[in-house]
Structure 1
Amino acid sequence: MKASVLHGPRDVRYEDFPIPKAGESEILIDVRATGVCGSDVPRVLSDAAHFYPMVLGHEFSGVVAQVGSGVTGHKVGDRVAVAPLIPCMACEMCQRGRYSMCPDYAFIGSSRYGALAEYVSAPARNLVPIGEETDFVRAAMIEPSTVALHGLRVGRFRPGEHVAILGGGTVGLFAAQWARILGAKSVTVFDIVPERLALALELGADAAVDSRTEDVEARSAELTRGFGFSHIFETAGQNATQIQAMRLVAKSGRITLIGNSHRDLEFPASTFELLNRREVTLTASWMSYSAPFPGREWTDTVECLANGELRWSPRLLQGQRTFTLADVGDAFRLYEAPGAVKGKLMFVQGEGGAQNRPGEESDD
């Protein structure tokens, strides 16, 4: 098969690669769409990959191509999304349904070959069926949606709250939508990219605030009648937004950290005092799984994508276009230009085709 193979930092090659074998309890997937996660970027541009050669890609969808001899309930031709976590299912955390806490898990696209390839194998229990009404590109974004929904559940979101989403990337925009669907009183998205703020409003946010040009504390007071946001979801994983969350949260409010941080978190003692004086609850969220595996995060996302409650826009994609597997190396170079990547990099094959290549202009 063809795959985009990582041989070292900044060394991605589109080349022949062995087709993975589907074990007795596994299924071989004909991959149709694969999205890039922020966690993939340091694996390509730095030295964060576990080993080389490596095939990345854990946000994906496709069609069942082969079924292991011990598998029931799936057949060739089924349309599916795939949960990338492979927990051991035997440890205490797995027995409690806390699969992302498993000390011995594997992960498709990280410790195991992923979906930036024509085929990928996965355990049968990891498959999540999708209907004809959900195309493969949308289905490849099920995984980041589940990350957002898991954050709301871990953070014990309550309807009727003034909610702030700090970071308008893919996960942040899904978090904003889930807060709206689940009954937030208002949803405000903070970001520094005008295109993302406009998209947040298109997808149903009540307000969008440019943290670079606006007085965020004044806008927070205006939007919440001076009380601050009762629940803040930090999805950017940046020091600036982490501190911003601490300053914008209401008394007895909640902060849920969803974004992955790659730097030390530093903040003034006066900011820490705000957390104490306001008796803030601080919660962290990791991945997107619950019992029964892979969890309601996945089934709810499939349902809400299919019925339209989770809104879709081509503006969620970088340049409102998709790329091919042969484009992976060039596409990752976009991350080397600050501000160049404003949407999800999505690679497709088979059904749907690809539209434009990196550096080409979209007609939209």
Structure 2
Amino acid sequence: MTHMKAAVLHARNVIRVEDVAVPSLQPHEILVKVKATGICGSDLPRVLGNAAHHYPIVLGHEFSGVVERIGAGVSRVKVGDRVAGVPLMPCFRCHDCQAGNYAQCKSYSFIGSRVNGSWAEYVVLPEMNAIPLDDAVSFEEAAFVEPSSVALHALQHIRFEGGGQVAILGGGNIGLLALQWVKLMGAREVTVFDIDDDRLALARKLGADYVLNNLRAATEESWRQITGGRGYEVVLETAGSDATIKQSFELAANKAKVCFIGTPVRDLTFSPKRFELMNRKEFTLTGSWMSYSAPFPGKEWETTLHFLKQGKLNFKDLIDRTFPLDEINAAFDLYRTPGGVKGKMMLLPG
């Protein structure tokens, strides 16, 4: 086995499935045969826009598969192990890494954006970036461990304690994963906001107490009635849109916790009156970045796999469609179609 298929991004909107060389292994690296890999929202500006770090590049950082080969000195996994992949490769030497803040490493690399990723039949990764899977966990479910850990990391970052009313802005994959986590962690009531009724219906199925469509005129009246006019004690912004980022300031209760998980792609401008809400309400505003803690890769990953094995997390209903690797451009045609994608698009290379 010297060659493999890979979906190679050559330029904006130019993905070609090609035969490329199977990468060689360095010490403490492993070769994983990819069984399932997701298309992340962060991949969209790399393919549809100009956000790729370089060309050519094989994207893909949400993945699972089977260990095919191991390099010299590998001891954590063996050939044939089923694993989920961890994409971040921190330096482990800088001040932030030494403090366990791996996502803040300034010298990191990242599988699927800085180096070739999992939109291929095989992917190389350090042995410590492979997490063994229980046989009860499917490869498709295991490809959700990375985005699930992103949602959980945000809650751990804000020290979420449950018991209150939570607003989740955005009913995409991260929003619906955050919904499942806050319910598991004891939220009293959860309201999911989106502009797509299909997403809101899925949010209801996954446990949302209320769902509100932001395109409807009565939305503000509804959330004020739900919260008794007080607003929400926790607001999780997962869409990264200017509208929902600004809305989070309105939804926050006095002394609330507001967390930005979504990544904006445009400049934002706040009116003085809206920005003043943070001062008046004295809410705590923070961001959340990636999904890591000490010991690497972190309790976010371990906790996700534990509850997934217990059947407490529903990833299967988040999958919109699956495609063989050869049909990756058909998947992206759907992203170019308004309303064409309702959930996770997943590639099945193996």
> Which bracket does the TM-score occupy, shorter chain normalised?
over 0.9
> Hey, what does 2:308 align to over in structure 1?
305
Alpha-carbon offset, residue 214 of structure 1 = 4.6
Do 2:9 and 2:16's aligned partners in 1 also have CA atoms closer than 8 Å?
yes
Q: Which residue of 1 aligns with 2:248?
A: 245
Q: Is the 8 A contact 1:35 1:347 kept in 2?
A: yes
Distance (whole Å) between structure 2 residues aligned to residue 129 and residue 199 of structure 1: 30
Q: 2:195 aligns with which of 192, 197, 201?
A: 192
Secondary structure, aligned partner of 1:322: strand
Provide the C-alpha distance between the structure 2 equivalents of 1:39 and 1:199, rounded to a whole number of angstroms. Answer: 22
CA distance in 1, matches of 2:303, 2:268: 33
CA distance in 2, matches of 1:214, 1:83: 42
Residue 203 of structure 1 contacts residue 312 of structure 1 at CA under 8 Å; is this kept in 2?
no
What corresponds to 1:322 in structure 2? Answer: 322
Alignment of 1:71-110 (within 5 A): 71-110=74-113
Q: Which residue type is aligned with residue 45 of structure 1?
A: L
Q: How does 1:27-66 map to 2 (within 5 A)?
A: 27-66=30-69
Among 224, 231, 235, which residue is 1:232 paired with? 235
- State the one-letter code of the partner of 1:220: W
- 2:30–2:127 Cα contact (<8 Å) kept: yes
CA–CA distance in 2 between the matches of 1:68 and 1:99?
Answer: 24
Q: Give, as a single letter, the amino acid of the residue that structure 2 aligns with 1:328.
A: I
Aligned to 2:162: 159
Structure 2-normalised TM-score?
A: 0.97
One-letter code aligned to 2:180: Q
- One-letter code of the match for 2:226? L
Q: How does 1:261-280 map to 2 (within 5 A)?
A: 261-280=264-283
RMSD: 1.1
Q: Which residue in the other structure is 2:345 paired with?
A: 345
Q: What residue identity is the alignment partner of 1:323?
A: F
Q: 1:213 aligns with which of 205, 211, 216?
A: 216
**Structure 1 counterpart of 2:339, one-letter code:** G
| Amino acid in the other structure paired with 2:335 | Y
Q: 1:215-254 CA distances to partner (integer Å, 9 max, x unpaired)?
A: 3322222212221100000000000000110001100111
Instruction: Note if contact 2:31-2:123 (Cα within 8 Å) is conserved in structure 1.
Output: yes
Question: Is the CA contact 1:155–1:284 (under 8 Å) kept in the aligned structure 2?
Answer: no
Per-residue deviation at 1:273? 1.7
Deviation at 1:101, TM superposition (A): 0.3
Unaligned 5+ segments in structure 1 are: 351-364
Letter in 2 for 1:338: P
The CA distance in 1 between the partners of 2:129 and 2:316, in whole Å, is: 27
> How many equivalent residue pairs?
347
